[in-house]
Amino acid sequence: MSSIYPDYIRLVERKAGGWLIKKGEMFYKRLEIEIDFQDFDLLYGISKQQLAVELFRINGGKAGYYLANLRDKQYQYCGLNPEDIKTTLLSLGIGRLDPL
């Protein structure tokens, strides 16, 4: 499954033993300078540890997929299946059912 979403949205998977921040691929970049989009503290003022705490607060650290809007500090639990991610993105107004 592939989805296109803004750079300030991060997909995070909770597995036994920790949080896994999924690394996306840049689709389009308007900036002419190099920026490390994995440096959450620099870009959004939140560390990866703080992100893990915020995600844990949502659902008690339940296994599954989460979306983190780092810009607006809003977090969503998607569900246990990868398909649930797309459903959550659509509910947030990101994407559409049939892109063609």
pLDDT tens per residue, range 22-60: 876 666 667 676 767 677 777 788 898 999 999 999 988
**C-alpha torsion sign, points 38, 19, 70, 86:** positive
The 10 Å CB-count burial string (b at 16+, else e) for 40-77 is beeebebeeeebbebbeeeeeeeebbbbbbbeeeebbb
Backbone angles phi, psi at 95, to 5 degrees: 90, -175
Residue 2's pLDDT is 62
The token pair at 38 is 């994995």
Task: Choose between 93 and 98: higher pLDDT.
Answer: 93
Stretch 8-23: mean pLDDT: 88
Domain residue extents for the chain: 9-91
If one compares 75 and 39, the residue with the highest pLDDT of the two is 75
